[in-house]
Amino acid sequence: MVMALLHLTIGNTDGGILDFIIFGVLQGVKTKWYLVPVVGAIWFAVYYSVFRYAILKFNLKTPGREEVTEDQQSEEPVVKGTNTQALKILTALGGKENIQSLDNCITRLRLVVDNMNIVNEKVLKDCGALGVVKLDEHNLQVVIGPQVGILKTQLEKLSS
């Protein structure tokens, strides 16, 4: 809406960097492409401020902001990317017998498990998981981060 109010005429349907360059910068100043970084910076500041305020004011539990209990603090930390972490995660998932399917996307392990009740969410978070999403009685996603590919490979080795 802001772009329309400013009469910016850049882009096709994607609005990506190629659209910006081809349909904006290369078309000259008639497209007002120079306003895009300005509006982007303002939108960034607005979004950041509003969401930071809401998260802190209402104590919203975003990944990584869960409450830490005393027993979690006393446990030995698990180093990400190690076989120890993979073994603990495999155990927390109920062992290799409980896993029907294991896959990953950019940041998440995507699993199909036989029994969701034996999946230990607390141990998964202690092992470095940023979050655990139970989609239904068999589908589970464990948010790990960009190193999820390494962990998936380690889990596959342990499961075979």
Q: Which residues are catalytic?
A: 105
| 77 close to 84: Cβ distance less than 8 angstroms | no
* φ and ψ of 146, to 5 deg: -65, -15
Q: How far apart are CA 115 and CA 120, in angstroms?
A: 11
| 65 close to 54: Cβ distance less than 8 angstroms | no
Nearest to 155 by CA among 102, 117, 114: 102
Chain center to CA of 29? 38
